[in-house]
Amino acid sequence: MTTLDHTHDAGARSWLASANADGGDFPIQNLPFAVFRRAGSTESMRGGVAIGDQVVDLGALSEARLLHGLASDAAHACDRPVLNEFFALGRAAWRALRHALFALLKDDAAPAMAEAMRGCLVPQAAVEFALPARIGDYTDFYTSIDHALNVGRLFRPDDSITPNFQWMPIAYHGRVSTIGVSGQTFHRPMGQARAQGASAPTCGPCARLDYELELGIYIGCGNPAGEPIPLERAEEHVFGICLLNDWSARDIQFWEMAPLGPFLAKNFATTVSPWIVTLEALAPYRLPWLRPADHPQPLAYLEGPANRAGGAIDIRLEVWLESEQARRDRSGPSRLSATRFGHQYWSIAQMVAHHTVGGCSLNPGDLFSSGTISGPGPGEAGAIIELTRAGQSPLTLNNGERRAFLEDGDAVLLRGWCEKPGHARIGFGESRGTVLPARA
Ligand code: CA
Residues 190 and 124 in one domain: no
For residue 118, the CA-to-ligand 1 centroid distance in Å is 40
Do residues 176 and 119 share a domain?
Answer: no
| Residue at which a domain ends, from 103, 130, 157 | 130
Query: Is position 1 within any domain?
Result: no
pLDDT reported for residue 160:
79
Which is more confidently placed, 402 or 153?
402
Shared domain check, 321 and 283: yes
The alpha carbon of 212 and the centre of ligand 1 are apart by a number of angstroms equal to: 6
Domain identity same for 72 and 154: no
Mean pLDDT of the chain: 97
Q: Answer whether residue 5 shows pLDDT above 80.
A: yes
Q: Tell me whether residue 241 is in a domain.
A: yes
CA of 396 to the centre of ligand 1 (A): 24
Give yes or no for a contact between 19 and 27, defined as CB atoms under 8 angstroms apart.
yes
Q: Confidence band (pLDDT; 50, 70, 90) for 372?
A: very high
CATH number, domain with residue 24: 2.30.30.230
Cα 373 to averaged position of ligand 1 atoms, centre (Å): 9
What's the CA-to-centroid distance between 302 and ligand 1, angstroms? 22
Task: Count how many domains the chain has.
Answer: 2
Answer whether residue 223 shows pLDDT above 80: yes
Q: What integer pLDDT is reported at residue 423 of this predicted model?
A: 97
151 and 124 in a common domain: no
Indicate if 162 and 280 belong to the same structural domain. Answer: yes
| Distance between Cα 213 and ligand 1 center (Å) | 8
pLDDT per residue as tens digits for the range 46-72: 999 999 999 999 999 999 999 999 999
The DSSP 8-state label assigned to residue 106 in this structure reads: B
Q: What is the mean pLDDT of residues 100-121?
A: 98
List the beta bridge partners of residue 219.
238
3-state helix, strand, coil in the chain (%, to 5): 25, 25, 45
Mean pLDDT, residues 169-176: 97
Percent of the chain past pLDDT 90, that is, above it, reads: 95
For 174-208, the pLDDT digits (tens) are 999 999 999 999 999 999 999 989 999 999 999 99
Whether 83 maps to a domain, the answer reads: yes
Same domain, 273 and 418: yes
Which residue range is the domain that position 397 belongs to? Answer: 138-436
**Alpha-carbon gap, residue 307 to 354, rounded angstroms:** 14
Kindly give the distance from the C-alpha atom of residue 141 to the centroid of ligand 1, in angstroms, as a whole number.
7
CATH number of the domain that residue 212 is part of: 3.90.850.10
Domain boundary among 130, 147, 179: 130
| 163 and 60 share one domain | no
- pLDDT for 162 beyond 70: yes
Which residue of the set 8, 76, 147, 237 is catalytic? Answer: 147
The predicted pLDDT at position 379 comes to 94
Whether 158 shows a pLDDT value over 80: the answer reads no
Q: What is the pLDDT of residues 252-272, one digit of tens each?
A: 999 999 999 999 999 999 999
Look at residue 1 in the predicted model and tell me its pLDDT.
Answer: 59
Query: What angle, 0 to 180 degrees and rounded to 10, lies between the N-to-C axes of helices 69-77 and 91-105?
Result: 100
Between the CA of residue 35 and those of 38, 48, 132, 370, what are the distances in Å? Answer: 11, 6, 5, 22
Q: Is 147 a catalytic residue?
A: yes
Q: Are residues 283 and 316 in the same domain?
A: yes
**Tens of pLDDT along 272-325?**
999 999 999 999 999 999 999 999 999 999 999 999 999 999 999 999 999 999
Co-location of 112 and 186 in the same domain:
no
**pTM above the 0.85 mark?**
yes
Q: Does the pLDDT of residue 82 top 90, yes or no? A: yes
- Considering the domain architecture, whether residues 316 and 354 belong to the same structural domain is answered as yes
Report CA Rg, the chain. 22
Residues 364 and 268 in one domain: yes
Residue where a domain terminates, one of 110, 130, 150:
130
